[in-house]
Structure 1
């Protein structure tokens, strides 16, 4: 079973206006073809996409490209309420075959301490089968969100948990400290664990921003892991894809 995570940059490739409102029809069609090809390889394969565009009914157009009798698009918990009220741009989804083994479970939701409202409720999707948890994330800059990630990992560290996506973390940021704290809780940077180079670039910023972290028990089930740099180098998006295979 393989898992692919891609930050598709709001389905817009390079964003010269910086607002995330571009909806590049060609790139969206390429995404559709990639999804169908990948999911047809194995019934239980999974694709996570970060920064899907929900402005101006763009997501509905994206959703309509897929045959709902064959595929399920798993949206974040409280997706409609949160996106309609607060933040229409850049959310995370997972796509599976309709009859795969995966079930969506509650992922990361941050509650604003002052207002009590949901904050960043659209940045993760969690799928589970038995003791395997797949958490696809696009971690915002908010430090409190990192605390939620750490708490989530601690609650599930005895399972085969895999947290994959765009961590938005690099050496000069305070988020790097939270990333290191997560590792002190037992999270393993799979790329480094398999002999990869920490200087490997996964984003056009020249940094490694995309990661796969695993629980200790989960590492033994990983058959392979690598980056698909061609997605970034060919202009499909500004991030490399993260691909790994897990033995069920």
Structure 2
């Protein structure tokens, strides 16, 4: 097993310097920190996070709260979680997942529609395709031809597609469906979904970086980071 002494020898520095790089990087010059971190990487050295946590009276665990019911087959959250976990592991932090099934989300497209003189009609459901399918079936008479369903997730969009097909509606001639995520479900849907694709893994890594920086700066605001999504046009909307 690689030890702190091995890293010190590889980097030609003292054990105290290696310890400072691990526990108090702000006390070491950037050049020296890079040398030590490179030696750690080459030797595949990972500090004892439990001992470090005890020494600094903190757990090095970040709790992530998901405000809806999810499972391990949900591609959106799995990609996001892996990105966050990877970003946290770079600084030897762990992630703890917590869920609250009683809190719902909201929609973010109202202003855009209003700018184009279009009146949005909003339906709120949990993120399940079966619930989306039932909602469309129950309200079918309210949807005139040329309606486009803009969904908060690809999972909801898949349910909308199923409902339209059950009612013998034609996609995309009579109805359009747009999802949001672009992780996996857009490709297995029939017809394939037009969707707003996000780089969820990169998003997770950036979230982890901002969380760690916030911890380092005692809760200071970290500003905003914008990751441009990409509209992927496919078979569920007109060309």
Q: TM-score scaled by structure 2?
A: 0.31
More strand by share: 1
- Structure with more relative contact order (C-alpha pairs < 8 Å, separation 6 or more): 1
Structure in which a larger fraction of residues adopt helix: 2
Larger radius of gyration: 2
